[in-house]
Structure 1
Amino acid sequence: MEKKAGNLELVYGRHAVKEALLTGRPLYKILVARGLGGNFFHELRNLAAGRNIPVQVLPAEALDRLTSRGAHQGCVAFVSPYRYAAIEDLVALAPRCLLVLAYITDPRNLGAILRTAAAVGVEGVVLPSRRAVGLTAEALKAAAGGAEHVKVARVTNLAAALRYLKEQGFWVLGAEADAPCTLWEARWNEPVAVVIGGEDKGLGKVIRRECDVLVRIPTTAQMPCLNASVAAAIVLYEVMRRRLMKGNHEGDSAD
């Protein structure tokens, strides 16, 4: 354990640790705050025992220090570093929807977006390797286990990645506040790659040029901009809504 410690990462929070256990991510040790019990911690210990993962009980203050007073909810896990996929791996899944994040720098935003992506069935997420946050412990905590259900790739050139996706038959749908048409008016086909911009600068000129269609989410003049995770949720749920509506109409036609 001591020799590997420098190569390990932290995952903390009940949902994040439990999902890491359930999905088979390599875990080396789980730390639990002293005095905590109940059904969740009983289940956690049983899951850990089933995978021969040691569980150590420590004072809550020790977990506070380890997570820099993060909201660990009484459990922390030492895990192997996250293994990012290649973008080719995502395409090989034959996905209907991929999510591309352009320069998201807030780990809590990233985590919230990954949680939504898992909820709506996004098969993969693409992140830039520079000027953007990766899957840190804080991002994984905010994802509440969602990151364990979505493959995540990192690329060095986001514009080149979008060109590659278009070559593979994807429509690239970008969300931008000043886009000429609203999300409700726009048309696109699947497979689709949804692009969400960063908290400060949006998509940027280079990424905008690679989009097949740009859409805006209608807002009032009093609040013209949305948080990146909120914008991602609105667009992704509209993508899912249209897919479900299309499936229902095709079912009606078959009858």
Structure 2
Amino acid sequence: MRRKARQASRPDNRPRFWGRHAVAAALANPERVVKRIWATREAAAEFDLDPSIPLTFADAADLGRLVPGDAPHQGIVIEIEKLPDIWLGDILDGAEEGRPLLVLDQVTDPHNVGAILRSAAAFDALGIVTQDRHAPPESGALAKAASGALETVPWVRVVNLARALEEIAEAGFWRVGLTGDATTTLAEALGPPKVALVLGAEGEGMRHNTQSHCDALARLPISERMESLNVSNAAAIALYAAVTAK
């Protein structure tokens, strides 16, 4: 897959990942550059660490000072370079039917985006698309929530989401925007085998311009006792509906 070149981050801006799933996935990803490792001796023994990467042994308390608050570092922390950007056209070219694409409109919470990446990996989604200015950066919290999926699910960041949705349509995708105001259910809106699921931020939902670039608007048939679902939960349900649609 071709990737756009990204200027290397300054050392003080490099993200740190922690937790064994996020770290193991980053170490196994040939696209990921790991600059430093801090670990307890017990945790380090569980990984096949590249000897060329600087390794510092530390106790749990010292590792806790490298991560925010009470983050569960599980004995290992790594400093990494951000992944190179991916072109939207690269994941659209030759996209397989039955593999949905997720488009996120101003979903900025890293825990939500991480959880969505995890669901995208679980349901073999084609990837996720976000607007670069209104999406969280790669971070330890996001990687921990993604449980390794940040390294395996293509994440495309675009300048203009409306233009990206036009490109997605040109590639033969049926664009379904999820909104609680729709009268059509998601099951009724699905049909073509290549589908892009568009979700907006909690509270504000999709912007009007984003909705206008969808082929259909649909809602999840949830009980009236609950006004809405967390966006990451909605994404997981929508992915399941899309991959199991007949």
TM bin, normalised by shorter chain, reads 0.7 to 0.9
Q: Distance in 2 between matches of 1:111 and 1:71?
A: 16
Sort the Cα spacing of 1:97 and 1:130 in 2 relative to 1 into closer, same or farther, 3 A.
Answer: same
**Counterpart residue number, 1:23:** 29
> Are 1:58 and 2:64 matched, yes or no?
no
- Structure 1 residue 123: deviation in Å? 1.8
- Structure 1 residue 54: deviation in Å? 3.6
1:141-152 correspondence runs (5 A)? 141-152=144-155
1:152-163 correspondence runs (5 A)? 152-163=155-166
**Counterpart residue number, 2:223:** 220
Between 1:55-64 and 1:170-179, the stretch displaced more is: 55-64
Q: Distance in 2 between matches of 1:4 and 1:169?
A: 40
The letter for the 2-side match of 1:59 is: D
Work out whether residues 93 and 123 of structure 1, in 8 Å CA contact, stay in contact via their aligned partners in 2.
no
Work out whether residues 63 and 75 of structure 2, in 8 Å CA contact, stay in contact via their aligned partners in 1.
yes
- Structure 1 residue 8: deviation in Å? 2.8
> Are 1:206 and 2:206 matched, yes or no?
no
State the TM-score, normalized to the length of structure 1.
0.85
Q: Distance in 2 between matches of 1:134 and 1:4?
A: 15
Work out whether residues 24 and 148 of structure 2, in 8 Å CA contact, stay in contact via their aligned partners in 1.
yes
- Tell me, which stretches of 5 or more residues in structure 2 are unaligned? 1-8
The number of residue pairs the alignment matches comes to: 234
Work out whether residues 12 and 77 of structure 1, in 8 Å CA contact, stay in contact via their aligned partners in 2.
yes
| Secondary structure class of the residue paired with 1:72 | coil
- Structure 1 residue 66: deviation in Å? 1.6
| Secondary structure class of the residue paired with 1:202 | coil
1:1-255 correspondence runs (5 A)? 5-6=11-12, 8-24=14-30, 25-33=32-40, 36-37=42-43, 41-44=44-47, 47-49=48-50, 52-69=52-69, 70-95=71-96, 96-242=99-245, 246=246
- Structure 1 residue 174: deviation in Å? 1.1
**Counterpart residue number, 1:250:** none
The C-alpha deviation readout for 1:162-196, integer Å capped at 9, x for no partner, is 01111121111111111111122223212211111
- Structure 1 residue 93: deviation in Å? 4.9
| Secondary structure class of the residue paired with 1:6 | helix
The C-alpha deviation readout for 1:106-141, integer Å capped at 9, x for no partner, is 110110000010111012111111233232221111
- Tell me, which stretches of 5 or more residues in structure 1 are unaligned? 247-255
Q: Distance in 1 between matches of 2:201 and 2:52?
A: 41
Work out whether residues 175 and 214 of structure 2, in 8 Å CA contact, stay in contact via their aligned partners in 1.
yes
- Structure 1 residue 7: deviation in Å? 5.4
Q: Percent of aligned positions with the same letter in both sequences?
A: 39
Q: Distance in 1 between matches of 2:10 and 2:222?
A: 50
Work out whether residues 30 and 75 of structure 1, in 8 Å CA contact, stay in contact via their aligned partners in 2.
yes
The letter for the 2-side match of 1:237 is: Y
Q: Distance in 1 between matches of 2:74 and 2:226?
A: 34
Q: Distance in 1 between matches of 2:201 and 2:216?
A: 18
Q: Distance in 1 between matches of 2:94 and 2:77?
A: 32
Q: Distance in 1 between matches of 2:104 and 2:139?
A: 15
Moved over 6 A (4+): none
